[in-house]
Structure 1
Amino acid sequence: MILKFRKVSVVSIILALFLTFMGGCSNAVKPSDTNSTAKNDKNQSSNTDVNANSAPDKNAAVPQGSSSQEDTQKALLMNIKKLAQQGKVINSEFPVKTTVIDDIEKKLGKPDKTDWVPAAKGTYATYSKHKLAFGFNKGAQIFEVRSFDNSLNKIPLSMVKKVYGTPAYDVKNNDEEIIGYTAGQDYKILLVFPKTAKGSNDPLLAHYSVLYPKGTANLMADDPGRQW
């Protein structure tokens, strides 16, 4: 009985140790699975955060290109008016009233062409390369400078009226509309808009000029000259 008891005890001990070992192995796997699950949860949380951060905010302010364009147009118109009060246009150093055609030819050379324009009461010298034209009287005095600068072609009629207000002069014909504003005591601004396609009433500026009306007067002929 003693021998039999010992054998059974040894077998029991071995079985108990085996079961204990297997239980330990089983328990050893669970923390690893837990860490893996936690890691996956963390990754999912991280991905959620990234997606949340990358999602567009509906309340975020969106830059308005049209507003920026309007600001540029307004700035250009204000500069046009400021220079006009000095008798100048935006891309010319030569003011009306105090400049003669000889001054211009010394600096820019001979014009591409010169034309006598009875309706404008003077001769006009065109400098295509510089996008300028100068009107001068019989005394060679410059009384009008016209600018054909490319930047002008982006300004609509509605913007001019918005910045300058109601024009003092407004004439329409078959081909164009010309509006005018005073610029100080001596000078005036004339803005020319081409005729638009049917259905459109907001043409873009073609060119403009600064006029010195007194320079067109012919006192000998009792002619007061141009007003616009």
Structure 2
Amino acid sequence: MFLFNRKSIVKITGALSLLFLVGCTNSQKSSLNSDANKVKNDVNNISSKTYINGPKKNQKNNSAQNVVLADIRTYAIQGKVINSDYTIKNTNITSVQKMLGKPDSSTWIASAKGLYSTYSKHNIVFGSNKGGQIFEIRSLDPKLNKISLSMVKSNFGTPKYDVKTGGRETIGYTAGDQFKILFVFPEPTKSNPDPLMTNYSVLYPAGTVNSMANDRGRQW
């Protein structure tokens, strides 16, 4: 039988306590290291993922274009384009000429049902019928040249109108009950599958109707 005095018992108890604390500390360190490595791996995995339904890498880069597209939608419902205070339906080409002067060019386009007056300095083209009523305003604003076909479809959805002709693709959407929006792009190709916009216009189809000639006018 072994006999321990009180001093020996105290020493042994202290040693055991120290071993226990060291063991717990090592265990905690190991656990913390394991958790830290797991978090680090999770972060790396998230960073390496390509978002499909979530945020896109170029979302910030497209923010300016998204603002322009939002303005296009807002003004179109009012019968306007983004870089002009003139309103289709209620404006006559004569009043435009009084304010802006003689256009750079005026061309009658039979297929479009009107006279198209270009003001290059103002990046604007007005389409007017035989009575002088403006039924279409086309914007040539340089900001449009940074907006791609996919951006428009992403913002406006599937177009109501989509025609490819003469090396161009024109897509259209309704804007309220009376007006329509037409976006024009170079026709997509293998080398340029997502072309940038060249111009867009707001159209008032009823302004192209010629009842005297039994002409139902344009829809797009």
TM-score, normalising length from structure 1? 0.70
Name which of 162, 184, 196 aligns with 1:204. 196
Pairing 1:111–2:111 present = no
SS in 2 for 1:114: strand
* % identity of equivalent residues: 55
Q: Deviations over 1:3-30 (max 9, x none)?
A: xxxxxxxxxxxxxxxxxxxxxxxxxxxx
Count matched residues: 168
2:143, 2:162 → 1: CA distance? 23
Shift of 1:68: 2.0
Shift of 1:194: 1.0
Counterpart residue identity of residue 104, structure 2: D
SS in 2 for 1:214: helix
1:67, 1:81 → 2: CA distance? 20
Name which of 146, 162, 167 aligns with 2:138. 146
Name which of 99, 124, 137 aligns with 2:129. 137
The aligned residue for residue 69 of structure 1 is: 61
Q: CA RMSD in A?
A: 1.7
Shift of 1:197: 4.8
Pairing 1:160–2:157 present = no
The aligned residue for residue 26 of structure 1 is: none
Unaligned runs of 5+ in 2: 1-42, 48-55
SS in 2 for 1:152: helix
SS in 1 for 2:62: helix
1:154, 1:65 → 2: CA distance? 17
Name which of 161, 167, 176 aligns with 1:184. 176
TM-score, normalising length from structure 2? 0.73
Paired residues for 1:62-101 under 5 Å? 66-101=58-93
Counterpart residue identity of residue 131, structure 2: G
Unaligned runs of 5+ in 1: 1-57
Counterpart residue identity of residue 198, structure 2: A
Q: Once superposed, which parts of structure 1, at least 4 consecutive aligned residues long, lie more than 6 Å away?
A: none
1:197, 1:182 → 2: CA distance? 27
SS in 1 for 2:190: coil
1:174, 1:188 → 2: CA distance? 22
